[in-house]
Amino acid sequence: MREAVTREIVTRESVTRASVMRGTATALLVAALVALCGGAGVARSAPGRPAGPPVPPALTVQVEDSATLGRVLADPAGHTLYRYGPDDSGARVCPRSGPAATRVALPHPPGGPLRLPPGIAGTIAAVPGPDGGEQITYDGAPLYRFTGDRQPGDTTGVTLLWHVVRPADLPAG
């Protein structure tokens, strides 16, 4: 009988050890997966140190260097941005048919941040757009993309009334 009790105790200890080992193996597997995935969503700071600075929101526009026109504003994908000359009066007068069908208003996602690149002066804002959403403006001029620009950096949309948007540099100091 004593032998049966000893066997039962040994069996229970074996089951308990196996459970502990499975739990340890699971914890190690989870830790390995987090490490392999780059720790997405996990703050990487040493104990007692604050986490790194927050990542700023993406730029609304960026600056590209055109081989023929110099520095111009572009959308986040690098496509040149244009303004319609008559819009400079402060009222949007861009026609909605004819040549304007080749122009697409630069949209602003509702509630999205508005951010210029560092070192660029001017004001970026969102106004009601022609499609009922919001459209991005730079220094009050509504911004458009030209559908004929096939690649980032193309500037084929320049006409007598359509102009690339040149960024204003911040004054030194």
**Residue predicted with more confidence, 86 or 158:** 158
116 contacts 124 by C-beta, under 8 angstroms? yes
pLDDT at residue 55 in the model:
65
Which two tokens mark 37? 């995935």
**Residue predicted with more confidence, 111 or 18:** 111
pLDDT digits (tens, 9 = 90+) for 42-90: 444 455 666 677 666 678 899 998 888 999 999 999 999 999 988 765 5
**Residue predicted with more confidence, 96 or 114:** 114
The mean pLDDT of the chain is 73
Number of compact structural domains in the chain: 2
Residue 12 has pLDDT above 70, yes or no: no
Residue 19: domain span: 1-50
Do 78 and 43 share a structural domain? no
pTM of this structure: 0.63
**Hey, which bits of the chain come out as E strands?**
62-66, 70-74, 82-84, 103-105, 107-108, 120-121, 124-128, 134-138, 141-142, 144-146, 162-164, 168-169
pLDDT at residue 155 in the model:
93
Do 78 and 120 share a structural domain? yes
Do 105 and 143 share a structural domain? yes
Do 94 and 156 share a structural domain? yes
